[in-house]
Chains A and B, each alone.
Chain A
């Protein structure tokens, strides 16, 4: 009897998620037809594997922060070409590029997923409130996003990165809470502050589009609560464009973070961060000596390829989602 009950609940669940399953199946089928999206997926999977296997691929020194690239005490300033000891060569000040690339992959995922995840959550919350309830709340929120949109993103992020203090104290009344932020945390906070309005706008627009649909009206008419209408009827139909943008943004955010690192505003020296490692390569490019032009090729080529491929992977994947999910283009 109990088993029967379980089974029926399972089949009920299966019936309920059948449209979603069909959708996923449809997505996979469409994706497999486009070589570009397969490449995108492969790239992302490759980087996930590198990140997961980092402790094996590049074993850190026990007891030390694995994200700090080991540096010999008597280090050489000049970059070293690839050798048995350093498969990818070294950056300025004998930072092992191989180690930096491997652990930098985790840093890239950390930046991309954290920034996009938090921006998405904030954007979803504010976007749903603004879109569903409209009126004054909507007006205030949209004016607020207008202000952040009034700035070119990287420039605002630059200002925030240098303004956000590494140590701050929050008085909770009964105790004083000390917040210590690493340089990378500051970069991520800045990117979230710059990034959330985009998601808010997007989800608000989608909610406003969906909420006038007949099935939402019907749900309201039969007396569903606001939260039920939002969670069950509005959001599932409004969330797809957000998925596309979020996928594209993971690459974009890593790109912006790398740009900040390149400008010397990102992580500290020696941190396993692609942008940081490429930034010193600029110091070794001179004019007028053609024979030595490519002498330090590994310092800019290797980190550059990692940043580029990572971003490319997410962009291809996002593009695939766009083509698959765009109702104007699909099933044609």
Chain B
């Protein structure tokens, strides 16, 4: 089977999963009484009080589940995720507006997590049961057990309250009023403040945004590196025990070459799968981290919405993260097949 056939076959598996995602979200929404569920079906910001009974009637919220699912799916396919009371706006608009902020954290932390995780995992495996291995494993287990919100609070106390080095929120007050002020000439080309600052020729906005990214990125990285180290270590250990490694060693190859070329390349494969899982870990972590640092992104909004029992917001966010996760895993699988011919040929 060629790579293209593999991609097509894998794509055919993604679609039922996505339908499943909508089914599950729909099932969860059924736990809520119709007068609260009505907000899920609103196509625009409600202006009158009688809009709720109207919506219940229009979308048959008291009728059979199948009819309800059909009506709801029509809305979803139009990109309508309902109205968020806590965000005072349409869920899809809020997601669109806040996604860049969250993506910025992800884009900065993902390379750190992958590079540091792989490096430490390899080192740890090569020096198995040596002090370095023990140190790495200890740190990795600590990272695994550390509650992300606690790490966030500790960093907040030390770097924000005590040292005053880094700020909370997405931008400082001055930068916020410059960017979002009424007379602002600041154009948000990408929504990424670090990039928009450069594009607008306002380097201080970029620096300000970076300053506010340091702590969230640090927390997300520390929490997720642990998982990569763990998998990389055991996969590297397995790889080092393979006969081709013994062969390579016995024919007198340089030790570093054996480790870097022969063992590490093969050991990387499970880590690629894990990087898909990592996306989920990051999305989970973002909810907590953004809340701790009052970083105005998707996760913070979802957490606030959940506290105010704003169902469309939380379900919309859950569905959004589900779709992101499924897509990410699809990409990971394709990469996997591209790298490892055994997967697509087997």
Tell whether A and B belong to one assembly. Answer: yes
Interface 1/0 per residue, B199-239 and A, CB below 8 Å: 00000000000000000000000000000000000100110
Shortest B179–chain A CB gap in Å is 20
Given known contacts A150-B326, A285-B160, is B144 in contact with A315 (CB within 8 Å)? yes
Which residue in A162, A263, A282 is a CB contact (below 8 Å) of B287? A263
Task: Assess whether B24 is interfacial by the CB under 8 Å rule.
Answer: yes
A288 within 8 A of B: yes
Q: Which 4 pairs between the two chains have the least Cβ-Cβ distance?
A: A147-B20, A293-B162, A293-B161, A154-B284
Chain A: minimal CB distance from B232 (Å): 15
Contact, CB under 8 Å: B287 / A146:
no
User: B280 near A: Cβ within 8 Å?
Assistant: yes
Tell whether, in the assembled complex, residue A263 and residue B288 are in contact, meaning their CB atoms are under 8 Å apart: yes
B315 within 8 A of A: yes
- B28's contact among A150, A160, A294, by CB below 8 Å, is which? A160
Within 8 A of A (CB), among B18-38: 18, 20-21, 23-25, 28-29, 31-32
Q: In residues 259-273 of chain A, which contact B (Cβ within 8 Å)? A: 259, 262-265
Bound CA–CA A311/B311 (angstroms): 31
A161 at the interface (CB under 8 A from B): yes
B29 touches A163 (CB 8 A): yes
Q: Does B89 count as interface, using CB distance less than 8 angstroms?
A: no
B residues apposed to A, CB below 8 Å: 16-18, 20-21, 23-25, 28-29, 31-32, 137-138, 141-142, 144-150, 153-154, 156-158, 160-164, 167-168, 234, 237-238, 241, 279-281, 283-284, 287-288, 291-292, 302-303, 306-307, 309, 311, 314-315, 317-318, 321-322, 325-326
Smallest CB separation, B33 vs chain A (Å): 8
Query: Smallest distance from the beta carbon of A205 to chain B beta carbons, Å?
Result: 14
Which residue of B141, B147, B149, B302 is within 8 Å of A155 (Cβ)? B302
Measured CA separation A17–B315 after assembly (Å): 51
In the complex with contacts A150-B17, A150-B21, A293-B161, A315-B314 CB distance below 8 A: no
B280: which of A144, A147, A152, A158 is its contact (CB, 8 Å)? A152
A165 touches B31 (CB 8 A): yes
Interface string of A210-227 (1 = CB under 8 A from B): 000000000000000000
Binds B, one of A67-75, A87-95, A123-131, A300-308: A300-308
**Chain A neighbourhood of B18, CB < 8 A:** 150
In the bound complex, do residue B145 and residue A308 qualify as a contact, i.e. CB atoms below 8 Å apart?
yes
A118 close to B (CB within 8 Å):
no
B23:A147 contact, CB within 8 angstroms: yes
Chain A contact surface mostly: helix
The reply to whether B281 and A152 form a contact with Cβ atoms under 8 Å apart is yes
- Does A278 make an interface contact (CB < 8 A)? yes
Contacts of A251 in B (CB 8 A): 145
A292 nearest CB across to chain B (Å): 8
Contact B150 A308 (CB under 8 A): yes
Q: List, in ascending order, chain A residues with CB within 8 A of B311's CB.
A: 162-163
A265: shortest Cβ distance to chain B, in Å? 6
Smallest beta-carbon distance A154→chain B, Å: 4
Q: In the complex, what residues of A have CB within 8 A of residue B318's CB?
A: 151, 155-156, 158-159
